[in-house]
Amino acid sequence: MASITFWNRIEPSPRSDKLERHLAAQVRDPMWFLTRQWQFGEFLGEDAASPAWIEMQGHTSPFTGWFAAGEPVQPFDNAAPLEELVQTEGLTPDWSTAVELGQYFEGLLLAAGLPQELIDAFRAAYRVPPASEVPASIRDPELRRFLTVCAGRATDGLALLEAARAAAPNLPADPVLPGTVDPDTVLDLLAEFVAWVTATFGDVSRQDSPGWRADRLEYRARVTALSPDGQPITLEASPGLDGAFDWFSFDQLRAFTLDDDRIRPAAGEVREFGRSVLPARVTFPGMPNKRWWHFEDGRRDVGELRASRLELGKLVVLDFMLVHGNDWYVVPFAQDVGSLCRIDTLLVHDVFGDLTLVRRADMKRKPSDPEVPWSMFSTEVQGGGRTDYFVLAPSAVGVALEGEPMEEVRFMRDEMANMAWAIESVTESGIGTRWPGHERADQLGSEPRESVPAADDAPPLQYFLQTRVPEHWIPLIPRQIDAARRAIALERGAALRAPQGGQPAVPIRPLGRVLNPSGAEYNPRYVIAEEEIPRAGREVRRRIERCRWMDGSTHIWVARSSRPGGGEGRSGLRFDLALEARKRAPP
């Protein structure tokens, strides 16, 4: 049967369009606050006061110099980040740079009103060769096209630069100047040319940074400084995987150590300071707010943070956020970059007028305590112990811009072949661009030999002394270095390129700079410590870095980074094989 449904609705009739009074959440009964405090156990808490202001005193001392192993001490004046000083290496010479330098010098000759005859003489003396005269192993497609255009039409500026520096302060032997040209004018232009190249490109060579240890695939340097007590000290600097120097990269040597005791770094000055600052509460996204009627930041969902009994890290974070977060304060403090700082006194003035002396976290509460408490930001002393100062390194951490790797080498263990491999995934081409290793292997025809079709009348079986590996795979062969301890190292070897056109087999050498270190101790044998290439592998990259320093100056340098690799691999290298011949397909 039909029904009728009806209801009543209450509609408010606001007398004002303002909401301030309602959002204030007013409470009419003050007893509610007391019962709420009792409910949360606030009456059982300590009668503690909040800090009003902090008074601190301490000492700061500067970095005074830096040096690499076997190198003299260089004074440090905070004019550049430590990464640039330690990591800077020569710009890799290539044909693009050579032509650019040659064009700049030809421009100087034209601006000076010198005849075209002189420019042609320099082009003939320092000529850019055609692509056919460049070795096939480094003749990438881009270089081939580049030399097709520039050969015979430009001056090799790198060869001219080397000749000008070797002959200074005289003219180089080549070319012979025409009789109408003033030698002093050409000499002045060469000096201007050399000065411009030095100011613009720096060192153009394959010389590695003195801080690079090729046997360890990492940077190592030392820094001299004054301790806050005024004593000279030496810090061992070991950067992280990305090559950056942070506060934890430094360890103090037990004694002031220099490679040459006759050299002393620049003098520094220890400064004493006293400051009074206002503390601020510790805050972070998602932290419960200290006020009852404030809403927390919604960027972190604390309720979804679930931790098991074994996840101590999450449990500590939860305990700090929900229980102790409002008991911690941050004290603002500014320290000069490139300095050491020790806080001698930290005195807290609270709102009740009481004073509290904050002691160091790593100080024993009693002399009879067996262990020293743990401390995070202290500097370790090699051989055991800790210092009482904090190191703020002159580092470009977090501010440097990194370019795309110009060179990338992956170190990999191959248990089946009982060796390791250094794979040049990316190297610099003949004009300074990226040249992938697989393209290099395809160009040079280094496919496995068993994949090459045999002749129609060939025997059914083909014998191979060994299989091929790609052109950019460089073998690292185990070599015993200590018979008593059975210690081995990995020595750079070379595979043989297959004979072509009646020519004998030649060894395949690496093209990049990582596997061709410039130090005399690595030539002709380059040995890498075996523990530096674990089962996880290793990856080394060369890249350009750029940053703005404190004085607004721009700094550009080439740095290397070393990080874990992608694990073990297999090259497919096999020896002494008799394989079924693969006949050519019928036409």
Residue-wise pLDDT tens digits, 199-253: 888 889 899 998 899 999 999 898 989 889 888 888 999 888 778 888 888 998 8
Q: What percent of the chain lies above the pLDDT cut of 70?
A: 90
Do the domain assignments include residue 14?
no
Do the domain assignments include residue 434?
yes
How confident is the model at residue 481, as a pLDDT? Answer: 84
Long-range contacts of 315-321 (CB under 8 A, 24+ apart): 321/286, 321/287, 321/288
CB 281 within 8 A of CB 325: no
CB 98 within 8 A of CB 156: yes
More confident residue, 180 or 23: 180
pLDDT at 266 over 60: no
- pLDDT, tens digit, 9 for 90 and up, residues 267-303: 678 899 999 999 988 877 777 776 666 666 666 677 7
CB 479 within 8 A of CB 489: yes
Q: Is 102 exposed, middle or buried (0-12, 13-18, 19+ CB in 10 A)?
A: buried
Q: What is the torsion angle, in degrees rounded to the nearest 10, for the CA atoms of residue 64, residue 66, residue 69 and residue 70?
A: -70
320/427 same-domain check = no
550/565 same-domain check = yes
557/423 same-domain check = yes
Domain count, the chain: 4
State mean pLDDT over 129-134.
87
255/127 same-domain check = no
Q: What is the torsion angle, in degrees rounded to the nearest 10, for the CA atoms of residue 385, residue 390, residue 393 and residue 396?
A: 110
538/412 same-domain check = yes
CA end-to-end span of the chain? 91
- Residue 99 host element (H or E): helix 95-111
CB 395 within 8 A of CB 245: yes
More confident residue, 47 or 135: 135
pLDDT at 582 over 70: no
What is the value of pTM for the model shown? 0.77
CB 543 within 8 A of CB 558: yes
Do the domain assignments include residue 513?
yes
Residue 92 and residue 434: Cα distance in Å, rounded?
A: 13
407/487 same-domain check = yes
Least confident of 329-333, 362-366, 376-380: 362-366
Average pLDDT, the chain: 84
132/243 same-domain check = no
Residue 99's domain spans which residues?
95-201
Residue 412 and residue 533: Cα distance in Å, rounded?
A: 7
Helix spans in 320-451 (H)? 437-444
Do the domain assignments include residue 164?
yes
190/237 same-domain check = no
Do the domain assignments include residue 261?
yes
